[in-house]
Amino acid sequence: MTEHSQEDSPPLDADPPGPEELARKIGQLQREIGQLQEAVVSHAVIDQAIGVVVSLGGLPPDLGFGVLRTVSQQTNIKLREVAEQIVGWPGGKELSEDIRQALKAALAQEGSA
């Protein structure tokens, strides 16, 4: 995501931007909107997966994210993808064997800590 600053804005006495500049700016803003929408969805899925992990492992909520992170690192699978599988698992979706094993180990480690 890009940050906007005063330097990005033309001076008030400058000529208005041309059609090419406006099209470029619209494209840039549309990409930023897409990134923000994806981030919101990703955050929701991760929060839901934390809930599943907390419920499954009987852990305090603050440890749920650590378990997800550990599973992601152990399996070399993006955190969001791990979260998506874990969220779907109670509803009958398949949980890959590598995620299943890493989750079991991470829960055992947190449970003994």
pTM higher than the cut 0.95: no
Average pLDDT over residues 96-110: 92
Distance of CA 89 to the CA centre of its chain: 18
For residues 40 and 72, which has the higher predicted lDDT (pLDDT)?
72
Distance of CA 65 to the CA centre of its chain: 12
Q: Is the pLDDT of residue 50 over 60?
A: yes
* pLDDT for 10: 59
Query: Of 44, 41, 40, 79, which is closest to residue 103 (Cα–Cα)?
Result: 79
Q: What is the mean pLDDT of the chain?
A: 83
